[in-house]
Amino acid sequence: MEIGIIGLPRSGKTTTFLALGGRSAHEAAGRARHGEPAVAAVAVPDPRLEELAVMFGSARIVPATIRYTDLPGVAPEQIARQHGLPESHLQYLAGVEALLAVIRAFDDGSGVPAQVEKDIESLETELILTDLQRVENRLGRLEKTIGKTTGREREAAEIERSGLLKVQTALNAGKAARTVELDSREEAALRSLALVSQKPIAWLINVDEQALASGADLTAPIRAKGLGPGALCVQLDSEMEKEIAELDAVSQAEFLAGYGIEEPAAKKIITLCFRLLGCIVFFTAAEKEAHAWTLREGGTALEAAGTIHSDFAKGFIRAEVVHWADLHAAGSYAACRKNGTLRTEGKNYVVQDGDVLMILFH
């Protein structure tokens, strides 16, 4: 899972990156040259996986990972001047599946008060302007060549044009591409454009300790205005969370309890990103390794097999499936086989979050 951290300059992106990524983020930030993105791969902590590893006597544990990319902020004036985000940003953003947009709600001592709603609008406009430029370029090229195409090629070009026009209409009305309903063929045709305003987005309102202590919910007015499809909103004190991430496990627990925080940001954001992307986790476990994998919600056993290895999908026969909770309750795979919670499923079985899969293939 790949998440890009974006935001206006000095909104706390790097602080958030460090809060989410812990040590690997610190290393990545240290390596990154000024003005260049930093990338950190972060293991998704999952106690279910640890337990599976013990149960199966697995030699190693391979957790699911999230890759966070911390991008330098771009000022709105610069965006307006060059009609969108710089090319260097777009290259990085093309590969990410979702955006974490950091909005400043803390007092940065500059005397400029935080303007959460205005900043969200500015950032959304940055994304929209970027896409508009690319959609119009693409449409221009398509219009020039479409007349020369025939048959299949013509049909594909028509589908792409229809998708582009729908998106263009929305963008011109100041709406993100993620609000546009495309049919599956239009969506596929537009995929290679990797439109930034089409990616699911989590608005992260970066508050300070005062706001946190007052119990104010800064996300409420944003949610009240309507976030639209593919968007979520949370608030977080990145500065404090960064400090929490630097503590060892014991002090971390004490600190969280002291502040009445239920779980550290890293975990909260991971859960959020899974929800935003409609992703679930399934497991494979054996003596060699216990492995957590991510899959789109609604993904089938065949798709799960393909996630593990393309050969598993090609030669798929069936899957043995047991839910982690049943394994946990029964204590072993053999016990689940006996009590009937271990089932055999075909390739169209819809995998559930927490399923433990054993793929049989030839």
Ligand X SMILES: Nc1nc2c(ncn2[C@@H]2O[C@H](COP(=O)(O)OP(=O)(O)OP(=O)(O)O)[C@@H](O)[C@H]2O)c(=O)[nH]1
Pick from 2, 6, 7, 14 the residue near Mg ion by CB under 5 A: 14
Question: Given the rule CB under 5 A, which of 6-14, 133-141, 233-241, 305-313 is the region that contacts Mg ion?
Answer: 6-14
Residue 6 CB, nearest distance to ligand X (Å)?
9
**Is the Cβ–Cβ distance between 232 and 257 less than 8 Å?**
no
Which amino acid would we find at residue 54? Answer: V
Dihedral sign (CA 107, 113, 118, 122): negative
Nearer to Mg ion, 14 or 235 (CB): 14
* Binders in 266-305 for Mg ion, by CB under 5 A: none
Residue 99 CB, nearest distance to ligand X (Å)?
14
Contacts of 347 (CB under 8 A, 6+ apart): 300, 301, 302, 305, 316, 318, 319
Residue 135 CB, nearest distance to ligand X (Å)?
27
Which amino acid would we find at residue 350? Answer: V
Nearer to ligand X, 13 or 178 (CB): 13
What is the x/- site pattern for Mg ion, positions 67-106, by CB under 5 A?
----------------------------------------
* Binders in 99-118 for ligand X, by CB under 6 A: 106, 108
Residue 108 CB, nearest distance to ligand X (Å)?
5
Nearer to ligand X, 12 or 264 (CB): 12
Rounded alpha-carbon distances, angstroms, from residue 25 to 41, 42, 98, 240, 313: 8, 8, 18, 16, 34
Determine the size of the site formed for Mg ion (CB under 5 A). 2
Nearer to Mg ion, 36 or 143 (CB): 36
Q: Which residue is associated with the tokens 């944003």?
A: 222
**Is the Cβ–Cβ distance between 241 and 19 less than 8 Å?**
yes
Residue 83 CB, nearest distance to Mg ion (Å)?
23
* Helix, strand, coil distribution of the chain in percent, nearest 5: 50, 20, 30
Selection from Mg ion, ligand X, none that 12 binds (CB < 5 to 8 A by kind) is: ligand X
From the CA atom positions of the chain, what is the Rg in Å?
23
Selection from ligand X, Mg ion, none that 108 binds (CB < 5 to 8 A by kind) is: ligand X
Buried b (16+ CB within 10 A) or exposed e, 151-178: eeeeeebebbbebbebbbebbeeebbbb
Residue 91 CB, nearest distance to ligand X (Å)?
18
| Residue 16 found at the interface with Mg ion (CB under 5 A) | no
What is the spatial distance between Cα 89 and Cα 361, in angstroms, rounded to a whole number? Answer: 42
Helix H or strand E segment including 199 = none
**Is the Cβ–Cβ distance between 70 and 13 less than 8 Å?**
yes
* Binders in 203-262 for ligand X, by CB under 6 A: 206, 208, 237-239
Residue 13 CB, nearest distance to Mg ion (Å)?
5
Interacting residues with Mg ion (CB under 5 A): 13-14
Interacting residues with ligand X (CB under 6 A): 7, 9-15, 72-73, 106, 108, 206, 208, 237-239
